[in-house]
Structure 1
Amino acid sequence: MRPLHEELADELLSLYRFMVTLHIPEEALKIPPPGGWRDDTIRARFEPGEKDEAVIKLLRHIPYIASKIEGYQIWEGCECNNFTETSKDFFDPLEEIMDTCNWEPLKVERGKYLATLGKSAGRNGWYIFCDVRTREVIHVDFQEGAIAPEASPRIFAETTKESFRKLDAYPIRPNKVCLAAMTGKDEMSEIRKVFDKHGWPGEAFRKSECLEDLANF
């Protein structure tokens, strides 16, 4: 079995490159250098002992999507966490917001073994975690109490891509991803026409033109 940090790094890179094709600026993709990101930069985000060493190792070796202003979304209401720079704005939601969550990994040591890959972009939105003990990736919406099925890094990446291919999830701009299930039927029909017009999900997809048309929604 491959080390988790290698497997997750490869799957996230594949997923993020897919998203660059769809809606995220290419320059936003940050790929770790040989040996990984600086150890002290990662540790600066946490109190000593707050995270297991396996979490630190994982965060040092995975790619990120960075934004200087409003974060680019990788799921509905979910921004990619960026550990490549020291920031006082970082928020790991393992505080009071977790108290009423019934997800089993949060009942013991409150997230010591979780890497927060994606964070809610506001009051409502999803978090994406990886549990370094079970190697599982999971979506959690704390406002709605919704928990997506736990999955391996490969299944998580492929399932997410397929959701975007089928437009079960779709961007209307780089910093806004929506779900078809939460979109009106008539509006969703028009949105699908825009993506079809610009060739999604084919290789000839015209990202810039599509995003320009989607700005009207």
Structure 2
Amino acid sequence: PYARDDVVVAALSSFYQFLTNMYLPSDAIAYPPEGGWGDISPDSFSAQKTDAVLNLLRHIPYIQGQIFEGTTATCFRGTGPHDVDPNKYITLIPPHVIMLAQPQERNGYYIFFDTERGMFTLCDFQDGPEPTKFSQDLDEMEGLMTHEDDEDLKEWWREFETYTIEDFFEEMKSRFRNLDLIPIEEGRVLMAKRGPFDGLKDVYREHGWPLENFKKEECLKEVQKRF
């Protein structure tokens, strides 16, 4: 089995539990049975993926609701084939990379996991790259995917902010803790920089966020009143 599976599953589970502590329902998470999700197979995918990707997707939990601004986790359970790659005009991704989350609306984000590098990448293709030290420069790389009919179709995802497994989820949690990301209801998240949301931040802090005594239900009711 893929060596990083346990690390990814544990980190993803911890992040999803964090989100249910803040705003998502506790039953929003579906955990795999012992042995993994039996309905996920190579036929589940709209494009070819490696065995490492297949094995990982059989063992991760899945969650309902937005996990980032305008972004939902991709679910690969049930009858396929499921879309495992973005539209080719957005970016090409190789078989060892999986799209774990995608935009639910126009301003959403993509989250990719590279099973060879063990790295997560967060992409907003409308705003453009904000590289980190693990991001890659396409001009300095060889052997990347290309499209025979359009030379502008490339692996653009590589240029965006990229993190190790541990750092990625700590970064995600930090943005929620600091209220750079503000849930306004159970299934919707906004970026604080998009508007004057100081009042909503105050509501979260008044209800104890991000401390253990956070009153989730009362907070969400007040947030919805004020939004």
Which TM-score tier does this pair reach, normalised by the shorter chain? 0.7 to 0.9
Give the counterpart of 1:136 among 119, 140, 149: 119
Residue aligned with 1:171, SS: strand
Whole-Å Cα distance in 2 between the matches of residues 42 and 122 of structure 1? 28
Please give the per-residue CA displacement for 1:70-122, whole angstroms capped at 9, x wherever unaligned.
xx111111101122322567563142222xxxxxxx4xxx3311111111012
Structure number having the greater helix percentage:
1
Please give the per-residue CA displacement for 1:167-201, whole angstroms capped at 9, x wherever unaligned.
111211122111112222xxx22111100121101
1:42 touches 1:83 (CA, 8 Å); kept in 2?
Answer: no
1:23 touches 1:207 (CA, 8 Å); kept in 2?
Answer: yes
Residue aligned with 1:195, SS: helix
- Provide the residue aligned with 1:86 in structure 2: 79
Aligned residue identity for 1:8: V
Q: Give the TM-score of the pair, scaled to structure 1.
A: 0.83
Return 5+ residue gaps in structure 2 as ranges.
Answer: 131-159
Over the matched positions of the two proteins, sequence identity in percent amounts to 35
Whole-Å Cα distance in 2 between the matches of residues 17 and 200 of structure 1? 15
Aligned residue pairs total 196
Is residue 48 of structure 2 the alignment partner of residue 65 of structure 1? no
Please give the per-residue CA displacement for 1:131-184, whole angstroms capped at 9, x wherever unaligned.
011000011112222355211111111111111111111211122111112222
Is residue 216 of structure 2 the alignment partner of residue 207 of structure 1? yes
Whole-Å Cα distance in 1 between the matches of residues 78 and 28 of structure 2? 13
Whole-Å Cα distance in 1 between the matches of residues 165 and 33 of structure 2? 21
Aligned residue identity for 2:86: P
CA apart distance, 1:213? 1.2
Q: Larger Cα Rg: Structure 1 or Structure 2?
A: 2
Give the RMSD, CA atoms, in angstroms: 1.9
Residue aligned with 1:44, SS: helix
2:32 touches 2:59 (CA, 8 Å); kept in 1?
Answer: yes
- Provide the residue aligned with 2:68 in structure 1: 75
Matches within 5 A, 1:63-212: 63-66=61-64, 72-86=65-79, 90=83, 92-98=85-91, 106=92, 110-147=93-130, 148-184=160-196, 188-212=197-221
Q: 1:169 to 1:150 in 2, by over 3 A?
A: same
Return 5+ residue gaps in structure 1 as ranges.
Answer: 67-71, 99-105
2:29 touches 2:62 (CA, 8 Å); kept in 1?
Answer: yes
Whole-Å Cα distance in 2 between the matches of residues 16 and 123 of structure 1? 23
Whole-Å Cα distance in 2 between the matches of residues 128 and 18 of structure 1? 18
Q: 1:87 to 1:23 in 2, by over 3 A?
A: farther
1:44 touches 1:86 (CA, 8 Å); kept in 2?
Answer: no
Aligned residue identity for 1:180: A
Query: Stretches of 4+ moved more than 4 A in 1?
Result: 87-91
Aligned residue identity for 2:85: D
